[in-house]
Structure 1
């Protein structure tokens, strides 16, 4: 059940609107539609949806302009882009401007619903109680996680509560941090520890992919491995380190995560989001550890996070 989350779908193509609407309504979501950014922005202000799914290329106000307006006006609603070949540069700009994620139109049937569900889970986890004023200056915490994906939203909710006390991120930055963490941690669990090939998601509506996850969760050595998650945060920013116990991977084998032309490719999608949302990303030589830094001020030379990241 989707708990009747309200989703606004924005697209000037009637065919595309029908396709996305059917996918979402079949899964229990309440869907409203708009045919351009101007109409969408008015609907967001009139009745705030839980999520916006928008095309990029539209008349009057395109998807990039819509994301910029939502971010500028600090409207607390995450935006997922639907991207087509040829829109890679605009999509990359929209992600930098505050969009939460994207789904290639060529993979709507397999990726849209999981992305929507995950974004809504992370949005809920990020809505923490801010009534208690904090004098916290710096914190360091670490977790040793099993490969249970259901742990991830709660962990990110805990991280968000810490960052709310420490760092001055806006709502869009909080959402992007949550999305980057989700991609990195789930990748460490599924592709790192369980060694499951993402290509299985293309087969039989992804069922072999899910079956393999269930099998390896209870199979040695895969299910015995852990994901080690470390956070170091201060008033200037935060550093995350995520390490799995799998064999690692070669970064050269995935599309360049900093190149917008790879935006429409499913492979490497998580790394592209991570590199877009974080200020600094590093991998160890083995390929089983990623370090991500997100700053909230421009000068971090004196911060503990900056000092640790240079070690």
Structure 2
């Protein structure tokens, strides 16, 4: 039987990024391949094991590695660790099965950029890949700028508009890289955590829209959010974001003007039952990608702390 096609040569279609899919199931390869090909804008290559994936990346680095968590031989967690160690600029996205949340968290901490539950591939795969790839491309343009900076502080007060979140997160990603706190992959992961915290402050804090509305889809959730952005008291509320960065650590404090919540009732995000819900993903990502996540007693302020990555210390 012929092996999987190699990663296409970079000069084949230079404008299209390569997605390398590592999965030992031919059926799942075909399913994921169809999803990616239907979207367009990518070249897709396949590997049937972690070893094949590493060999393919050695020959020609893809824009992103999409890997199954459970494979024979080298599993997804080991593959994440090896890619992070050998090819730090290649982001990795995991495909996880039901009940593997604890392993997914370990892989996120080991260096994965994001994850997608297999049961949600049709709905979530393309948005997740778009986000990870766009983050990496944007951050790379400003990599290794302002090498002499020793301290940076900023404060923003923004309206409860989700469209303001991506440019603000992009600024913070650049701040992290310029301060030398992490590399491109680390900044991508931290940016995702900050984005989740900001969206929580807007939707659940200022607009008081319950995540329970998302259990049956996003339409009702976003409809209520749009309505509340136009009426008092929700429309007058703002989100205050304070960032303090030094070469040793970055601290992001996000304060909304909502009523807060009982932080003692915050569920465990790695509980399988909780993780299957729409509300579980953001908390899991924040805790996986940040060294500290702290709430005030009221529940309307969250502090995210990102310490300097080991790889950044080694590079210096």
User: Is the pair's TM-score, using the shorter chain for normalization, greater than 0.5?
Assistant: yes
Residues 1:192 and 2:205 are matched in the alignment:
yes
Among candidates 150, 156, 160, match of residue 169 of structure 2: 156
CA distance in 2, matches of 1:133, 1:227: 28
Residues 1:122 and 2:135 are matched in the alignment:
yes
CA distance in 2, matches of 1:35, 1:202: 34
Aligned to 1:231: 243
With 159-168 and 91-100 compared, the bigger mean Cα shift is at 159-168
**Matched position secondary structure for 2:252:** strand
Among candidates 46, 67, 72, match of residue 59 of structure 1: 72
| 1:270-295 CA distance string (max 9 Å, x none) | 11111122111110112111001111
TM-score, structure 1 normalization: 0.83
1:83–1:264 Cα contact (<8 Å) kept:
no
Shift of 1:245: 1.7
CA distance in 2, matches of 1:213, 1:117: 24
Residues 1:98 and 2:101 are matched in the alignment:
no
Aligned to 1:78: 91
1:104–1:265 Cα contact (<8 Å) kept:
no
Pairwise mapping of residues 184-263 of structure 1 onto structure 2 (< 5 A)? 184-203=197-216, 206-257=218-269, 263=275
1:6–1:29 Cα contact (<8 Å) kept:
no
Shift of 1:148: 2.8
Shift of 1:261: 8.3
1:6–1:51 Cα contact (<8 Å) kept:
yes
With 216-225 and 50-59 compared, the bigger mean Cα shift is at 216-225
In structure 2, relative to structure 1, the CA distance for the partners of 1:252 and 1:101 (3 Å cut) is: farther
**Matched position secondary structure for 2:218:** helix
Residues 1:181 and 2:194 are matched in the alignment:
yes
CA distance in 2, matches of 1:250, 1:108: 33
Instruction: Tell me how large the CA RMSD over aligned residues is.
Output: 2.6
Shift of 1:22: 2.9
Residues 1:110 and 2:123 are matched in the alignment:
yes
Shift of 1:4: 4.8
Shift of 1:218: 3.0
**Matched position secondary structure for 1:94:** helix
In structure 2, relative to structure 1, the CA distance for the partners of 1:111 and 1:198 (3 Å cut) is: farther
With 273-282 and 121-130 compared, the bigger mean Cα shift is at 121-130
